[in-house]
Amino acid sequence: MPDNPLIAIVDDDEAVRTATASLLRSFGYRTHVFASATEFLASGMDRQAACLITDVRMPGMDGMELQQVLIAQNCTIPILFMSAYSSDTVRQRVLAAGAVCLLEKPFDSEVIVRHLRDALKPPAAPSD
């Protein structure tokens, strides 16, 4: 994995997209932003990005539907969810489907970077 992995950010709120991308770039990550889940899927970035950060609630295809599409396509990109309207049900659903975390907006910059670093760690080698 490159020293500055590419992070895809999907959020319908332009201010959140811009702020999140700026924050991650300040930590050395490359970013590519998308206004919708369908825009992200159409870009082919699901096979290029090292990690996906997506909002849960968006018009059209929401983040949970995006996660299901990626699973159906056997895409194993790590996903960090963010939401201003999280619930235990949503948290359990996305985590059960393999998400790294669900961050509640607004979130602390150190929290998202810590989760992102964990998501980008190579898988541990199986022990004998």
Q: Which two tokens stand for residue 88?
A: 């235990």
Q: Which residues contact 21 (CB under 8 A, 6 or more apart)?
A: 9, 31, 33
Confidence class for position 85, pLDDT limits 50, 70, 90: confident
CA angle (78, 79, 82) in 5-degree steps: 155
Q: pLDDT digit string (tens) for 22-70?
A: 999 999 999 999 999 999 999 999 999 999 999 999 999 999 999 999 9
Task: Write down the pLDDT at residue 128.
Answer: 57
Q: Which two tokens stand for residue 2?
A: 């490159």
Confidence class for position 125, pLDDT limits 50, 70, 90: low
Task: Write down the pLDDT at residue 49.
Answer: 97
Q: Is the pTM of this model over 0.85?
A: yes
Nearest Cα residue to 52 out of 86, 81, 18, 21: 81
State the CB neighbour count (10 A cutoff) for residue 88: 8
CA distances from 122 to 20, 30, 50, 96 (A): 23, 18, 11, 20
Domains, the chain, in order of start with CATH, read: 6-120 (3.40.50.2300)
Q: pLDDT digit string (tens) for 105-119?
A: 988 999 999 999 999
Task: Write down the pLDDT at residue 64.
Answer: 97
Q: pLDDT digit string (tens) for 62-72?
A: 999 999 999 99
